C-alpha cells in the first residue's frame, strides 16, 4: 500500500493558511479588509496546487483517491472559498468581530469538504463531514449579538448533530452487514448473497440517505435551512449554500456509485420520491417568501431536488447521470455565488434584505441589478445562461434513465422557479425607487461579480470544457466501481 | 457465555442497567434522575467488559458516566426551577408505546438477523488493536480529527469570549 503524503499538499497548504489567518487576525495594524484577500489567495493557491495531479490516478493508501474526481472538487471548493472570502471582505469588516478566526475556520472547512469528495472509505468520509459541519455551525452563529444568527446557528447545530448520529448509525449497520468500511468492499459484499441481512443493509442505507438528506437540506429534512440561511451572516449563507451542497453531493454521488450500486433497484425509487417532494416544495414555498435570503434558501432546496433526481437516475450501465449531476452542481454554485455577491453588496450599502426593498435598484445601481438578474435567470435555467445548459443535460440524463415523469416534474418546478425569480426582477426594474440617489461603487466586489457573470455566460455558451471535466471525473468514479460489475449477477 | 459466574454477572449487571433506567423514567427530581442514569451507564460498561470489549467499557465510563452526565447536571442547574421537574405529561403513554416499539424492533433485529461467524466469537485485545489501526492504517482520519478539534476550539473561544 502506498502512503504518499505529498498527495495531500493542497490540504497542508490550507491548514497552514488557516493558522496564518488566526495569527494575522491578532496583528492590529493590518486592516480587516485585507484579511479577506489573503484568505482568498490561500484558497486559490490550494486549488492551483491540486492541478499538479491533473490526469493522475493515484491514491493515498486505500483511504483517499487522488484522481480527476478529487481534482474537480478540490478546484471547485477552492474557488468557492476564494469567492466567499472576497464577498466577506467588506461585510466582515463592517458587521462582524474576530476577523482572523472567521477566515481561519472558513479555510479549514475546505479540508473537510475536499476529503468528503476524496474519501474511499466510510471513516475518513465521516470525519471529513464532521469537520465541514462543525465549521459551518460556528460560522452560521458568528454574528453572536444577533438573535437571528443565534437561533439559526443553534437549529443548524442541533439538527446537524441529529443527522450525523443517523448517518453514523447507518454506517454502523452497513459495517455489520459487509464487515468493511471501504466502498469497493461494500459493493462486493452487497453484490453477493446477503441472505437474511438484506433488510439490515437497506435500513442502514436509508439512515445514510436521511443523514445526508439533512446535510444537503432535502425535503422533508430541510426545516433547518431557511432559518439558518436567514440568520447566518450573508457571506456565510453564500458559503453554506455552495459548499455544503457541493460537498454533500460529492460524497453522496461517490457513495451511491461505488458502494451502493448493487442495491440500485431498491434505492432509486426512494430517491426519486425524495427528489419529487424536494423540487415541488422548495419551489412552491419560495413563491411566498419576502426575504431575499429565505427566497434563495428555498430556491436552493429546489436545486437540491434536481440534483437528487439526477442521483435517482444513476444507472449501472452509463456515467451520464453522474456527470450531469457534477455539471449542474458547478453551474448552480457559480450562479448562486453570483446572486449572493450582489445581495451582499446591496446589504453593505443599505442593510436591507427584504425583496420589496430592492425596488428601483436598476436606477440606483444598474450593474448590481443587471448582475443579479443574470444570476437569477441562470438559476431559473433560461437559455444563454449556465443554468440552461446544465439543467438541460441533467433533465436529459433523467429522462434517458426511464424516469420521464421525474424529468417532467423537474421542468414544471423550473417554471415555478422562473415566476419567483421574475418577481425579484420586477421590483428592481419596474417599480419606482424610493429615492433616485445613486448608490456608490464597490470595486473589489464588482470585480468578483463580473468574473462570476462572465463564468455564467462562458458555461452557458461554451460548456464543452466543463462538460468534459465533469465527464472524466464521473467516469473515473465508475471505473472505481467497475471491479464489482463482473461480480454482480 | 459459559461459566456460572459469567451468567450471574450478566444478570446482576442487566438488573442494575434496566433498574436504573426505570428509576430515571419514574423519579420526579431531575438531578436524581441523572444520578440514576449514571448507574445505568456503569451497568452498560460492565456488560461491555463481559463481552470482552474493554476499550468500549473504558470509553463508556469516561464519556457517558463522566462527561455526558456532568453536562446534564450543568444543563439542569442552568434551567429555571419550574422546568426542572420530571413531571407527568400527556405524552407519557405515547412515549411508553414508542419505547416498547423500539425494544421490540431491536429484539427482532437481533434475533432475526443471521449474524456472521465473527459476531459469535469474542474479541481479542481490543484496545491495542484499535490503537494500532488508528496510528497505522487510519492515521489520516486521526489527523483530520485533530484539525476538527482545532476548528471547534477556535469556534468555542470566539463564541464565549466576552466583548
Chain A residues in contact with B143 (beta carbon < 8 A): none
Give the contacts of B64 (CB within 8 A, at least 6 positions apart).
B41, B44, B45
Q: What is the pLDDT along chain A (489 residues), one digit of tens a residue?
A: 668 888 999 999 999 999 999 999 888 777 888 899 999 999 999 999 999 988 778 888 888 989 889 999 999 999 999 999 999 998 998 888 889 999 999 999 999 999 999 999 999 999 999 999 999 999 999 998 889 999 999 999 999 999 999 999 999 999 988 889 999 999 999 988 877 788 889 999 999 999 999 999 998 899 899 999 999 999 999 999 999 999 999 999 999 999 999 898 899 999 999 999 999 999 999 999 999 999 999 999 999 999 999 999 998 888 889 999 999 999 999 999 999 999 999 999 988 889 998 998 899 999 999 999 999 999 999 999 999 999 999 999 999 998 999 999 999 999 999 999 999 999 999 988 888 888 888 888 899 999 999 999 999 998 899 999 998 888 878 876 654 444 443
Q: In A, which residues are within 8 Å of B105 by CB distance?
A: none
**pLDDT value, residue B120:** 63
C-alpha of B134 from chain center:
22
Instruction: Work out the minimum CA distance from B59 to partner chain A, whole angstroms.
Output: 17
B155 in a structural domain: yes
| Count of structural domains within chain B | 2
Asked whether the predicted pLDDT for residue B83 surpasses 70, the reply is no
* CA distance linking residue A332 with residue A328, whole number of Å: 6
Q: Under a CB-based contact definition with an 8 Å cutoff, are residues A103 and A21 in contact? A: yes
In a domain, B96, yes or no: no
> Can you give the pLDDT at residue A208?
95
Distance CA B40, CA B46 (A): 10
d(CA A248, CA A270): 18
Distance from C-alpha of A368 to C-alpha of A349, rounded to nearest angstrom: 12
Paired with B85 in beta bridges are B29
Is there a single domain that holds both residue B133 and residue B80?
Answer: no
Searching chain B, which residue's CA lies closest to the CA of residue A153?
B159
* Structural domain contains residue B62: yes
- For residues B31 and B86, state if they share a domain: yes
pLDDT at A1 (0 to 100): 64
Q: What does the block give as the cell for A69?
A: 474526481
User: What's the angle, vertex CA A259, arms to CA A255 and CA A260, rounded to 5?
Assistant: 90
CA A345 from chain center: how many Å?
Answer: 22
The verdict on a CB contact (< 8 Å) between B148 and A137 is no
B144 and A124 within 8 Å at the Cβ level: the answer is: yes
Query: Would you state the cell numbers that stand for residue A330, as one nine-digit string?
Result: 458547478
Q: How far apart are CA A464 and CA A469, in angstroms?
A: 9
Give the residue ranges of DSSP H helices in A119-223.
Answer: 122-140, 147-178, 183-191, 198-215
Residue B157 lies in a domain: yes
Domain shared by B75 and B134, yes or no:
no
CB-CB neighbours of B131 under 10 Å: 12
- Write the CATH number for B45: 1.20.120.1200
Domain that includes residue B135, residue range: 125-163
Task: Indicate the average pLDDT of chain A.
Answer: 91
Q: B72, B90, B108 — which closes off a domain?
A: B90
B79 and B26 in a single domain? The answer is yes
Check residue B117 and give its pLDDT: 64
Contacts of B150 in chain A (CB under 8 A): 108
Residue B45 covered by a domain: yes
Residue B108 within a domain: no
Please give the ipTM for the structure prediction: 0.87
Instruction: Give the residue from B90, B107, B137 where a domain finishes.
Output: B90
CA A273 to chain centre: 21
Whether B19 is in a domain gets the answer yes
As a whole number, the mean pLDDT across chain B is 86
* Test mutation, A138, A175, A206, chain B, max B CBs within 10 A: A138
Same domain, B79 and B135: no
Would B110 be classed as within a structural domain?
no
Q: Which residues have CB under 8 Å from A481's CB, separation 6+?
A: A183, A184, A187, A257, A258, A261
Within this chain, do residues B85 and B136 fall inside the same structural domain, yes or no?
no
Instruction: In whole angstroms, give the CA distance from residue A283 to residue A304.
Output: 11
- Residue B123 banded pLDDT, cuts 50, 70, 90: low
If asked whether residues B83 and B24 sit together in one domain, one would say: yes
Residue A45's CB: how many other CB atoms inside 10 A? 16
* B130 in the same domain as B82: no
Amino acid at each position: 500500500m502506498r502512503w504518499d503524503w505529498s498527495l495531500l499538499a493542497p490540504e497542508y497548504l490550507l491548514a497552514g493558511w488557516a493558522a496564518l489567518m488566526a495569527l494575522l487576525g491578532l496583528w492590529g495594524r493590518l486592516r480587516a479588509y485585507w484579511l479577506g484577500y489573503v484568505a482568498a489567495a490561500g484558497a486559490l493557491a490550494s486549488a492551483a496546487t491540486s492541478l499538479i495531479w491533473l490526469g493522475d490516478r493515484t491514491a493515498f493508501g486505500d483511504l483517499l483517491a487522488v484522481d480527476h474526481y478529487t481534482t474537480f472538487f478540490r478546484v471547485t471548493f477552492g474557488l468557492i472559498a476564494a469567492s466567499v472570502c472576497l464577498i466577506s471582505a467588506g461585510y466582515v469588516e463592517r458587521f462582524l468581530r474576530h476577523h482572523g478566526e472567521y477566515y481561519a475556520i472558513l479555510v479549514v472547512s475546505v479540508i473537510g469538504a475536499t476529503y468528503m469528495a476524496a474519501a474511499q472509505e466510510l471513516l475518513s468520509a465521516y470525519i471529513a463531514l464532521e469537520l465541514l459541519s462543525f465549521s459551518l455551525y460556528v460560522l452560521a452563529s458568528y454574528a453572536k449579538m444577533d438573535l437571528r444568527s443565534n437561533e439559526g446557528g443553534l437549529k443548524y447545530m442541533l439538527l446537524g448533530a441529529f443527522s450525523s448520529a443517523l448517518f453514523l448509525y447507518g454506517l454502523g449497520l452497513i459495517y455489520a452487514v459487509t464487515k468493511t468500511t471501504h466502498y469497493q468492499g461494500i459493493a462486493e459484499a452487497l453484490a453477493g448473497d446477503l441472505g437474511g441481512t438484506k433488510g439490515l443493509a437497506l435500513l442502514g442505507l436509508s439512515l445514510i440517505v436521511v443523514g445526508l438528506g439533512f446535510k444537503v437540506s432535502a425535503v422533508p429534512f430541510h426545516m433547518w435551512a431557511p432559518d439558518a440561511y436567514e440568520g447566518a451572516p450573508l457571506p456565510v449563507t453564500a458559503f453554506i449554500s455552495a459548499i455544503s451542497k457541493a460537498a454533500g453531493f460529492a460524497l453522496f454521488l461517490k457513495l451511491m456509485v461505488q458502494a451502493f450500486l448493487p442495491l440500485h433497484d431498491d434505492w432509486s425509487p426512494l430517491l426519486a420520491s425524495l427528489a419529487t417532494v424536494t423540487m415541488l416544495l422548495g419551489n412552491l414555498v419560495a413563491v411566498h417568501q419576502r426575504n431575499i435570503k429565505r427566497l434563495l434558501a428555498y430556491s436552493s432546496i429546489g436545486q437540491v431536488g434536481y440534483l437528487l433526481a439526477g442521483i435517482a437516475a444513476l444507472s449501472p450501465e452509463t456515467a451520464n447521470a453522474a456527470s450531469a449531476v457534477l455539471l449542474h452542481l458547478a453551474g448552480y454554485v457559480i450562479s448562486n455565488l453570483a446572486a449572493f455577491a450582489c445581495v451582499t453588496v446591496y446589504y453593505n450599502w443599505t442593510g436591507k434584505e427584504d425583496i420589496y426593498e430592492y425596488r428601483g435598484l436598476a436606477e440606483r445601481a444598474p450593474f448590481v441589478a443587471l448582475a443579479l438578474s443574470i444570476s437569477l435567470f441562470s438559476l431559473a435555467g433560461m437559455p444563454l445562461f449556465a443554468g440552461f445548459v446544465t439543467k438541460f443535460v441533467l433533465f436529459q440524463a433523467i429522462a434517458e434513465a426511464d424516469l420521464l415523469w421525474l424529468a417532467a416534474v423537474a421542468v414544471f418546478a423550473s417554471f415555478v422557479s422562473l415566476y419567483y425569480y421574475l418577481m425579484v426582477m420586477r421590483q428592481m426594474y419596474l417599480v419606482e425607487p424610493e429615492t433616485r440617489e445613486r448608490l456608490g461603487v464597490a470595486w473589489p466586489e464588482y470585480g468578483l461579480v463580473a468574473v462570476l457573470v462572465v463564468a455564467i455566460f462562458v458555461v452557458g455558451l461554451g460548456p464543452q470544457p466543463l462538460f468534459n471535466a465533469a465527464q472524466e471525473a464521473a467516469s473515473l468514479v465508475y471505473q472505481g466501481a467497475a471491479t464489482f460489475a463482473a461480480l454482480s449477477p | 457465555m459459559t461459566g456460572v459466574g459469567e451468567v450471574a454477572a450478566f444478570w446482576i449487571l442487566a438488573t442494575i442497567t434496566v433498574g436504573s433506567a426505570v428509576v430515571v423514567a419514574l423519579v420526579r427530581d431531575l438531578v436524581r434522575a441523572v444520578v440514576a442514569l449514571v448507574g445505568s451507564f456503569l451497568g452498560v460498561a460492565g456488560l461491555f467488559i463481559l463481552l470482552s470489549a474493554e476499550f468500549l467499557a473504558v470509553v463508556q465510563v469516561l464519556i457517558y458516566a463522566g462527561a455526558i452526565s456532568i453536562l446534564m447536571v450543568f444543563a439542569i442547574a442552568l434551567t429555571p426551577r419550574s422546568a426542572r421537574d420530571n413531571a407527568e405529561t400527556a405524552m407519557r403513554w405515547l412515549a411508553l408505546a414508542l419505547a416498547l416499539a423500539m425494544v421490540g424492533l431491536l429484539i427482532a433485529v437481533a434475533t432475526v438477523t443471521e449474524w456472521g461467524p465473527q459476531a459469535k466469537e469474542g474479541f481479542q485485545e481490543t484496545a491495542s488493536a484499535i490503537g494500532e489501526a488508528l496510528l497505522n492504517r487510519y492515521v489520516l482520519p486521526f489527523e483530520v480529527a485533530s484539525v476538527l478539534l482545532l476548528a471547534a476550539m477556535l469556534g468555542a473561544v470566539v463564541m464565549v469570549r466576552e466583548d
